[in-house]
Amino acid sequence: ESNCIFFADLCNVARNGDFEEEPSDYYYTHGSATFSWATDASTSPTHALKIVSAQRPSVLTRWMSRTCVYPADILKVSAFLKTQGVTNGRGLLAVTYWNGSTYAGRTVDSPLSLTGTSDWTQVTVFGSPPTGATCARVEFRLFGGGTLWIDDLVVERQFGA
């Protein structure tokens, strides 16, 4: 049985990746910021996730997936991010690997991070799980102050690549 959700011509295993359903069943937050299910900006029909932070540059706030995706040989994760007023910080996509509730020692950040005020930009992460990893968690990270919107998450598992 697969939790595959077809989107265009690919198999997306992200749950509620367009964020059109209320996100609390699939995503949770961490850090001191205002987190919301926003309607003021989106690439999909009406909703996106949003972080508004007034933190120092090194302080991390984030939305994270509740459901771990079983890691394959390679995991391709992409999402659209938008920033406003992100100074002395950055917004990015990350994948962290876990063995149950224990961190498996690998985080893969998107090579592209957004600063300042940026329109919707697709960011992508390719990651391979470390030995012993049983799941991968998707994280939308904002370091420092500013606003980060997140929309249209796609998670693809690739075996034998």
pLDDT digit string (tens) for 26-59? Answer: 999 999 999 999 999 999 899 999 999 999 999 9
| Residue 68: pLDDT over 70 | yes
Residue with tokens 């996730």: 49
Determine the pLDDT at residue 12.
75
Determine the pLDDT at residue 159.
62
Determine the pLDDT at residue 139.
97
